Chains A and B, each alone.
Chain A
């Protein structure tokens, strides 16, 4: 089945002032890139999509995920994964703990095996029991990616995910993330400042203007 994320006739307001207008569809494996200056409503859009629009903002319009209207569904039931610029790993859990936390409940042994496999695939073999604070920036980014992917999301949002990484690491991590998105056939929406991100994504690019 073709997966898709649809944003239907969205109008986003801050204190009754129109921030942005959007009507888009992203299919599985595609990456829609949003660019624009700060204050143009990018972050608010992501917040709306995850179901956590802060007070002071209002939105009209609908969001559909795989032909289900999830506009009124609470955040934790949406199955929309997010990657932030900070890895935001849980410091009270180990690397494996962070990933296990994200996975659906189930047989303990199978889950552990799956974690081992996934770590190995991303070149993190043997780091399962490490404390997250002791990882390098690139390793943290990869653990964060694994955490999102293994939570089995139906769509993925990228909130300037590579902006804190230095350039070589940035390209590697970006390639890895995009490859995984395509591999899992997830609809993805990326917010970024960086034109090279947009270029690498290879999908449609929308540039937002700051509203006056």
Chain B
């Protein structure tokens, strides 16, 4: 965290030599940002578009045609793959959204909302793979749930025949995705409500509705939600895009006869039979269309809901069984929290378990050898994770701050086009452009020993930037402009205003954005694997290589390590300011 400051401070030094350097850099930054995002994403898309239509120099194929798509249509179970992708993506997003709304509605303006957020927000930093592993442990036939009830209640001596995880209907995937996306959406909503202007207005309007006799849940849906929803739209679309095209969760929790479309595409890309790559590229385009279709469907659904319920907003009805919903929400929330807690307890137990035969609820003995053997092999991956994470985050923060400063210099918000492009990596399925991106990166390989690091950092930046931007933008835009005006009127240069006036005020948001950036970077699997050419191992690539199917004990250790890294970041972001302010006050 302190590094962030030093880099910024040293930029100040640079500014002192050439007067207008800073403004020029700030003016150039949005263009650089666009370039950094557009080139890899659209380049990557072209890199799958060409092979999809048969142009693949790698395979000595130069004829343009539809053979890739023909092969794709003939794939057995394609319909099932598509429907599985659609169902898991859509249902998990809807579920996560509905539960988020229920929690918000039932606990709006209550202390419980903050408590629930505190309990759920650590889950935000858990990488998807680790979360999938934890969920798998819980719902497997030999998992914590059946161990808790066996053998005293059910009499199972051997693990029962179950369907979870890997059930053909994708329920396990939906469960995993819902639990993972719920805290994200909740946090996004609370983040929106934390904006001073909007938050205060909505809370007061909620209070007005209560005074007018509306039950709290109805008041939330009729008064708060219509104003809150536009701020949730983008996170929702990102969740939907991710859920319909992700690889980690369906790989660990999903069926394989057939798998989801995204997993199948990844398997075709990695298949020994290289001609499958044409089909895989065609599949990537299909995935793109599928995700795009879902996004459009969501927007249409939004319009329909708005149209259908527009009337009832003002029909004066104040109560829709609010008490029951309150109880149901309390039950659902408790279940979610208990479920997550059990999964985490299970993870911790497995990581220190000796022999632990089903149906024992606790391990026969405890041992640290799983941790010891992991710690012995963790040096390089840990170093790589930290190096890539820190550089990526620093770049993302610097670029974001410069772009936001450009907004203030220019006196208007970034163009709609730019704001849309920033979120493009979140809305385009990564499987659709990463393979093309790797192809392009190989095309322009420079022989520098750390080239793969640069490639990985660029790939990570695509996913870190949007989140850092999302997390910093609102705080930056809400800075009271009068401070800057006062400083400028005293003859302070723009660069000095930026570094000496604005950044110190943004200390806490910058720390939080850094922690978020680090967490996102730590969790990246496909980008690290592909862009790094497999040469760069991080905690996450190790966790998936070792943990995908391997021993529960090793998986548990790696999943916990995956969680610990970002958690440390967030704890630092939380503790440092208090510590520093305390010191300053003295």
CB within 8 Å of B: which residues of A? 50-52, 55, 75-82, 84, 86, 88, 90-93, 96-97, 100-106, 108, 111, 147-148, 151, 153
Minimal Cβ-Cβ distance residue in A for B226: A92
The answer to whether A91 touches B227, judged by C-beta atoms less than 8 angstroms apart, is: yes
Q: In the complex, how many angstroms separate the beta carbon of A130 from the nearest chain B beta carbon?
A: 15
Contact (Cβ within 8 A) B315 A100: yes
Q: Is the CB of A105 within 8 A of B213?
A: no
Let me know if B222 and A101 touch, CB within 8 A. Answer: yes
Interface residues of B in 210-245 (CB under 8 A from A): 210-216, 219, 222-223, 226-227
Contact call B211/A147, Cβ cutoff below 8 A: no
B318 vs chain A, min Cβ distance (A): 7
Interface size on B, residues (CB 8 A): 26
Residues of B within 8 A of A82 (CB): 207-208, 211
Known: A76-B209, A88-B205. 8 other contacts (CB 8 A): A50-B210, A50-B211, A75-B210, A76-B216, A76-B219, A88-B204, A147-B212, A153-B211
B107 to chain A, nearest CB (A): 14
Docked CA distance A108–B313 (Å): 13
Interfacial chain A residues near B153, Cβ < 8 Å: none
Distance, CA A153 to CA B205, complexed state (A): 17
Distance in Å from the Cβ of A1 to the closest Cβ of chain B? 20
Residues of A within 8 A of B10 (CB): none
A194 → chain B closest CB, angstroms = 21
A25 to chain B, nearest CB (A): 21
Q: How far is the CA of A101 from the CA of B209 in the complex (A)?
A: 9
Residues of B close to A105: CB separation below 8 A: 315-318
CB distance from A163 to the nearest CB of B (A): 15
Docked Cα-Cα span, A148 to B212, in Å, equals: 7
At the interface, yes or no: B111 with Cβ under 8 Å from chain A?
yes
* Contact residues in B for A91 (Cβ distance below 8 Å): 227
Complex alpha-carbon distance, A77 and B319, angstroms: 10
Any A CB within 8 A of the CB of B478:
no
Can you list, as one digit per residue, whether each of B304-332 has a CB less than 8 Å from chain A (1) or not (0)?
00000000011111100000000000000
CB distance from B518 to the nearest CB of A (A): 34
List, in ascending order, chain B residues with CB within 8 A of A88's CB: 201, 204-205, 208
> What residues of A have a CB within 8 angstroms of the CB of B317 in the complex?
105
Q: What 3 A-B pairs have minimum CB-CB distances, sorted nearest first?
A: A100-B314, A92-B226, A105-B316
- The answer to whether B313 and A101 have CB atoms under 8 Å apart is yes
Q: Which residue of A lies closest to B322 (CB)?
A: A76
Interface contact A93-B314, CB-CB below 8 Å: yes
Minimum CB–CB distance for A132 against chain B, Å: 11
A76, B210: Cβ atoms closer than 8 Å: yes
Q: Out of A51, A76, A80, A96, name the residue touching B318 (CB < 8 Å).
A: A76
A79's nearest neighbour on chain B, judged by CB, is B213
